[in-house]
Structure 1
Amino acid sequence: MLKVINLKRGLDIRLKVDAEKVLAASVEAEKVALKPTDFPGLVPKILVKAGQEVKAGDPIFFDKYNPEILLTAPASGEVLAVNRGERRKVLEIVIKADGKNNSAEFVKADPNKLSREEIKEVLKKSGLWAFLKQRPYGTVAKPESAPLHIFISGFDSAPLAPDYEFILKDQSSAFQTGINALAKLTDGKIHVGIRPDQANGFFSGIKNIETTQFSGPHPAGNVGVQIHHVSPISKGDLIWTINPQEVIYMGRLFESGKIDFSKIIALTGSEVVSPKYFKVIHGACLSNLLKKATRQEGKERIISGNVLTGTQVEADDFLGFYDQQVTVIPEGDYYEFLGWAMPRLNKFSISHSYFSWLTPNKKYKADSNLNGEERALVVTGQYDKVLPMDILPVFLMKAIIAGDIDKMEQLGIYEVIEEDLALCEYVCTSKTEVQSILRQGITLMIKELGN
């Protein structure tokens, strides 16, 4: 019998417009890129230079402090540039895709017949190891470590999130092969969190996993919330996490011996003419995807990811390494005179200050306006209403700001990363950059205690 966990705290932000469950024609990417900035704590050492020809799966850079963590080319082609920012910080390595998708050769084998070390070696050389993230801290997993369990969230509850049942429906073979490989990397279990309506869906036919049902509002789909309720992290514990589509990458690798970084993403938001699902190459340039898809009637905020945790990008930027959707909303660069005193019938609010509570099923056209400025951080109880975890987020924030490592440990920093506290930032009347503060705290923990 499936274990069912009912979450009461949280918040579903109802926005326009979800992606229609239609897979549009594949979008060919003229350029793809790897961005070291997608990997917190990683210091890249570049292995290629402009003009060099690469195949999909060829090494591009590795981590200075963990050389076994290797990142490889998403597609075959020519390295166009290694773009740098201030103090020569590497921002991105851009590859001009040739459209052939020639792949480097790797081991083609049944993971059930390989040892743990052999599977690790294949994943490291192919660059797929970087998709395994560890808790605490949400950094790339260390190859020499072994997790208690591996967690996969089988659904995403964020605003306008893609439907994994739709994305995964024809890829059960590759997913099962990927699960078989992951099962060799832990002595524990592979836990998959699903919604109650997925009980007879895609994951019901997958072996070597243990499923748990989660009902309730966002962040029920966050893997960190699921870990907290199934196997809470204490000091010294180690859990690995991975996204379902990234499991498929691994399955394809072992089934074919080649790298295939194609993925299905959702193009969503009120400024998209016809929101749909698109098949793209991992790290693809967004220009072709957005060229005919957005309204372009005014300024737009393009987000790689969702509106809570995604990264603001330009139309000629690239899809984030771990992102499964692109969201386009209006830019909120305007001033609203006496906005706080207006009825605001078309604005969503968690409080009863506006009338959105009278229309619980209404969807809203949100923009990026903060509707205020940063104020003093006070204890209001708002954070606790949207965080279904037994931690005290306001006091954790204060401990981080004070740099008190002992308090940070006691208050649960091992259990959370940015996405887990994103709703706290959204509902915060103080306009506190909660996610940024949390990452500062995690960086301090790694510096003082190690990763």
Structure 2
Amino acid sequence: MSKDIRIRKGLDLKLKGEADKIIVDAPPSSIYAIKPADFHAVVPKLILKEGTAVKAGEPVFYSKYDDKVKFSAPVSGIVSEVLRGAKRRILEVKITTNGSDEAINYGKLNPSDANADQVRSMILESGCWPFIIQRPYSIIANSNDIPKGIFISAYATAPLAGDPEVILAGKLEAFQAGVTALSKLTSGSVHLCVGKESILKNIKDAEVHTIKGPHPAGNVGIQIHKLDPINMGERAWTVGPEDVAIIGNLFLTGEFKPERTIALVGTDVKESDRKYYRTLVGANVNTLVGTVDTNNTRIISGDVLTGVKLSNDQFINFYHNTVTLIPEGNEYAFLGWMPFTRNHVPSNAGTSFSKLLGGKRMVDTNLNGEDRALVVTGEMEEMMPMDIYPLQLIKACMAGNIEQMENLGIYEVAPEDFALIDFTNTSKLEAQEVIRLGLDLMITEVG
């Protein structure tokens, strides 16, 4: 049965630089990359060596700890480089495309007629399994698990994030096929959270929930908490809306085609270039942004709260639908520590006109202060819609106290749920990093 969700806690960061709702094809990238760093806790084992010809949808490497989970090439071409770091750790597998669009065909399969084993096998073999993320821990799902529910958030509230309604334009048939396929893999329901006027309200084989509220209402972890909280020993899966369409397209066509629609946003993007660009997973970021002066502009794969910094020659994150360009915080306001001196930037502080006057604001990377003591102020609780104590959970993670972490709700959270706390807390604490380290400890000690 569907359930409406209303979130009251949180904060909408209204920033300048949003993308027009126009979709165009991005210039093709000559090189694509699969980056193991995009897949937390995955240790890659190479299947193809440098110089090997590869087809789109052909597995390039697999997970050491779950060899059924494969990572496939987004394009056909040649494995041109395996970039390694310290201790020969694989950083990137680069594929130089030959432009032939030659792809492996796994055979069409009607998800309505398929059983769970057939659906699971096809998703695993094609390389679509990495799109399925497990909660707790926010890692790629175990290929043998049966989750109690699968959650899809088609409601974006992160600053300047790509609108799922635009991203899924022309992909509703594939999205429906993906939802139907995923419904075969859970003992419970597929939960789809949408806005009030969503085009996805009539999707079948899912419980459709209407959600409303400020960020982080669009975070799938918040939605899980409101619909079916995770307890110790339970598993739930999450899948991004465009990733559902990629899975659905696999069943409709038999081919792995990881199309990615990227919103190019931010005040350092020319207004005429702020659009949605269709490309493929692993594309080089310079196909969207060109050559950027990274001394003065930061390129972010993702949104400003949770994204990853990129250089001109790097590649867009496997899961991201947004690329953001904002000024580097290398200019400092005179007497910037005084109230009412930085009113052009967004703030939740009562001493800022930006909060009192509202409207869209500019943002840069300046931290506006140094590290400070971690004290009880109540500001973290204002940003956390879950029924947990965020400050106490952060402290438990810092102390490595597993029992306290369990009692305080570590199984329900992911780093992105603490992104607003990163932005608003006066201590300048990197809460997302602390929570990620706490989750990694739980993976090691509890599993």
Q: TM-score range by the shorter chain?
A: over 0.9
Partners of 2:155 and 2:24 lie apart in 1 by 21
Equivalent of residue 215 in structure 1, options 212, 216, 222: 212
How do residues 225-240 of structure 1 correspond to structure 2 at under 5 angstroms?
A: 225-240=222-237
Partners of 1:308 and 1:398 lie apart in 2 by 21
How do residues 46-195 of structure 1 correspond to structure 2 at under 5 angstroms?
A: 46-195=46-195
Equivalent of residue 377 in structure 1, options 369, 374, 384: 374
CA deviation profile, 1:176-232 (whole Å, cap 9, x unmatched): 11111111101211101112232xxx2123111111111110000000000000001
Partners of 1:322 and 1:340 lie apart in 2 by 37
Q: Partner residue of 2:403? A: 406
Equivalent of residue 345 in structure 2, options 344, 347, 357: 347
Partners of 1:414 and 1:8 lie apart in 2 by 22
Equivalent of residue 310 in structure 2, options 305, 313, 325: 313
Partners of 2:147 and 2:245 lie apart in 1 by 20
Answering whether residue 261 of structure 2 is matched by residue 268 of structure 1, we say no
Conserved 8 A contact 2:24-2:276: yes
Q: CA deviation at 1:258?
A: 1.2
Q: CA deviation at 1:99?
A: 2.1
Q: CA deviation at 1:447?
A: 0.4
Equivalent of residue 388 in structure 2, options 375, 387, 391: 391
Partners of 2:160 and 2:237 lie apart in 1 by 26
Conserved 8 A contact 2:26-2:288: no
Larger mean CA deviation between 351-360 and 124-133 belongs to: 351-360
Equivalent of residue 432 in structure 1, options 426, 429, 432: 429
Partners of 2:226 and 2:100 lie apart in 1 by 45
Q: CA deviation at 1:334?
A: 3.4
Partners of 1:69 and 1:78 lie apart in 2 by 22
Q: CA deviation at 1:373?
A: 1.4
Q: Aligned in 2, Cα 1:88/1:334: closer, same or farther, shift over 3 Å?
A: farther
Larger mean CA deviation between 133-142 and 350-359 belongs to: 350-359
Q: Partner residue of 1:290? A: 289
SS of 1:421's equivalent in the other structure is helix
Partners of 2:226 and 2:202 lie apart in 1 by 24
CA deviation profile, 1:160-184 (whole Å, cap 9, x unmatched): 0111112213111111111111111
Partners of 1:2 and 1:177 lie apart in 2 by 20
Larger mean CA deviation between 82-91 and 381-390 belongs to: 82-91
Q: Partner residue of 1:252? A: 249
Partners of 1:279 and 1:415 lie apart in 2 by 33
**Partner amino acid for 1:375?**
R
Paired residue total:
444
SS of 1:205's equivalent in the other structure is coil
Partners of 1:107 and 1:144 lie apart in 2 by 23
Partners of 1:167 and 1:276 lie apart in 2 by 11
Structure 1: state its 5+ residue gaps: none
Partners of 1:30 and 1:289 lie apart in 2 by 13
**Partner amino acid for 1:98?**
N
Larger mean CA deviation between 255-264 and 236-245 belongs to: 255-264
Conserved 8 A contact 1:107-1:122: no
Partners of 1:260 and 1:327 lie apart in 2 by 24
**Partner amino acid for 1:321?**
F
Q: CA deviation at 1:308?
A: 0.5
Q: CA deviation at 1:355?
A: 0.8
CA deviation profile, 1:372-422 (whole Å, cap 9, x unmatched): 111221111111111111001110011011110000001011011111111
Conserved 8 A contact 1:268-1:275: yes
Q: Aligned in 2, Cα 1:233/1:2: closer, same or farther, shift over 3 Å?
A: closer
SS of 1:111's equivalent in the other structure is coil
Equivalent of residue 238 in structure 2, options 232, 236, 241: 241
What is the percentage of aligned positions where both structures have the same residue? 43
Q: CA deviation at 1:298?
A: 6.3
Conserved 8 A contact 1:28-1:99: no
**Partner amino acid for 1:173?**
E
Answering whether residue 397 of structure 2 is matched by residue 368 of structure 1, we say no
Q: CA deviation at 1:98?
A: 1.8
Partners of 2:406 and 2:438 lie apart in 1 by 10
Partners of 1:205 and 1:229 lie apart in 2 by 22
TM-score with structure 2 setting the length = 0.97
CA deviation profile, 1:5-38 (whole Å, cap 9, x unmatched): 2111000011111100111233211111111011
Q: Partner residue of 1:442? A: 439
Q: Partner residue of 1:36? A: 36
Q: CA deviation at 1:358?
A: 2.2
**Partner amino acid for 1:428?**
N
Answering whether residue 362 of structure 2 is matched by residue 358 of structure 1, we say no
Partners of 1:90 and 1:333 lie apart in 2 by 33
Q: CA deviation at 1:333?
A: 2.3
**Partner amino acid for 1:137?**
Y
Q: Moved runs in structure 1, 4+ residues, more than 4 A?
A: none
Q: CA deviation at 1:442?
A: 0.5
Partners of 1:91 and 1:417 lie apart in 2 by 24
SS of 1:3's equivalent in the other structure is coil
SS of 1:203's equivalent in the other structure is coil
Q: CA deviation at 1:367?
A: 0.4
Equivalent of residue 333 in structure 1, options 324, 330, 333: 330
Conserved 8 A contact 2:128-2:256: no
Conserved 8 A contact 1:262-1:282: yes
Q: CA deviation at 1:321?
A: 0.8
SS of 1:439's equivalent in the other structure is helix
Structure 2: state its 5+ residue gaps: none
Q: CA deviation at 1:2?
A: 5.2
**Partner amino acid for 2:313?**
D
Q: CA deviation at 1:297?
A: 9.8
Conserved 8 A contact 2:394-2:435: yes
